[in-house]
Amino acid sequence: MSSEKKKADQAYDMLERMITFQELRPGGMVSEGTLMEMTGLGRHPIRAALQRLSWERMVEIHPRRGIIVPPISIEAQLKLLAVRRAVEELAVRWAAANASTRQKETMAALATDLTAIPPTGDIVGFGRLLKRVHEIIVLAAQNEYLQLSMAPLQGLSRRFWFSYVTDVTGELQRAAVLHAATLNAITLGDEAAAAAAALELNDYLTEFTYNVLRTAHA
């Protein structure tokens, strides 16, 4: 991997984390220069990262004005989850059928790490783990077109979830168990169990979103 590619990936990871955990606030305008100062990285890697984030709908790029993190919408999250539900079921089935031995070992380790989150709830650390879980499942499915569709679905739904988590310990533990169940089923090559676990996870995410909606209307 070239030095420029590494820097672009580093910029992407840093900016995606800032968006997910609202270090960059929804609706606010920010310049490339500000992002360069915040990350310590140069213009080229920042621009490459922004193009990727724009494609994933995590930012909106306005030439000569700046970059906006779009507001979070409950309606958009529900629409997104309806699509994620179907696509993710397919992804975990393919992963269960196609994952390599090394990928299965990585998934087993991630499942252990997820369920070992301390009671105090390391929310940023958990976010890193979730991202790795999503990435390894898509890679194991061995279909680059699936990868194109899953990245924005997973990234945007992670952003929504972390934005509205209030019971950090309880929600992290529940999400950890659900994700670990999916990973463990994939490592066993059990397509049906992996699909059932993925559907249960998406049911939880939908329930979570409706709870946010009810709280907003209360």
Domain CATH code at residue 28: 1.10.10.10
Q: Where is pLDDT greater, at 13 or 28?
A: 13
- By C-alpha distance, which of 85, 114, 97 is closest to 179? 114
Is the pLDDT score of 53 beyond 70? yes
Instruction: Kindly give, in sequence order, each residue whose CB lies less than 8 Å from that of residue 79, ignoring residues fewer than 6 positions away.
Output: none
Structurally, how many domains does the chain consist of? 2
DSSP state, residue 189:
T
- Residues 92 and 188 both lie in one domain: yes
- Determine the residue type at 174: R
- Determine the residue type at 48: A
Q: Give the ranges where 21-143 is alpha helix by DSSP (H).
A: 32-39, 43-55, 74-98, 101-115, 123-141
- Residues 91 and 36 both lie in one domain: no
Domain CATH number, residue 136: 1.20.120.530
Q: What is the dihedral of CA 21, 27, 33, 37, to 10 degrees?
A: -20
The DSSP secondary structure of 99-133, one letter per residue, reads: --HHHHHHHHHHHHHHHT--TT--HHHHHHHHHHH
- Residues 157 and 197 both lie in one domain: yes
- Residues 188 and 114 both lie in one domain: yes
Domain boundary among 20, 52, 68: 68
Distance of alpha carbon 192 from alpha carbon 42, whole angstroms = 46
**pLDDT recorded at residue 121:** 66
- By C-alpha distance, which of 58, 59, 201 is closest to 137? 201
- Determine the residue type at 153: L
**pLDDT recorded at residue 177:** 95
- Residues 86 and 189 both lie in one domain: yes
- Residues 87 and 132 both lie in one domain: yes
What are the structure tokens assigned to 166, written together? 């209030």
Is the pLDDT score of 10 beyond 80? yes
**pLDDT recorded at residue 181:** 97
- Residues 91 and 115 both lie in one domain: yes
**pLDDT recorded at residue 38:** 95
**pLDDT recorded at residue 155:** 92
Domain boundary among 16, 43, 68: 68
- Residues 145 and 211 both lie in one domain: yes
- Residues 38 and 90 both lie in one domain: no
Distance of alpha carbon 70 from alpha carbon 115, whole angstroms = 32
- Residues 150 and 210 both lie in one domain: yes
Provide the residue range defining the domain that includes 140: 74-217
Q: Where is pLDDT greater, at 168 or 95?
A: 95
Q: Which residues pair with 30 in a beta bridge?
A: 67
Distance of alpha carbon 167 from alpha carbon 161, whole angstroms = 12
Domain boundary among 51, 68, 85: 68
- Residues 59 and 87 both lie in one domain: no
- Residues 110 and 16 both lie in one domain: no
Q: What is the pLDDT of residues 101-159, one digit of tens each?
A: 999 999 999 999 998 876 566 888 899 999 999 999 999 999 988 888 898 999 999 99
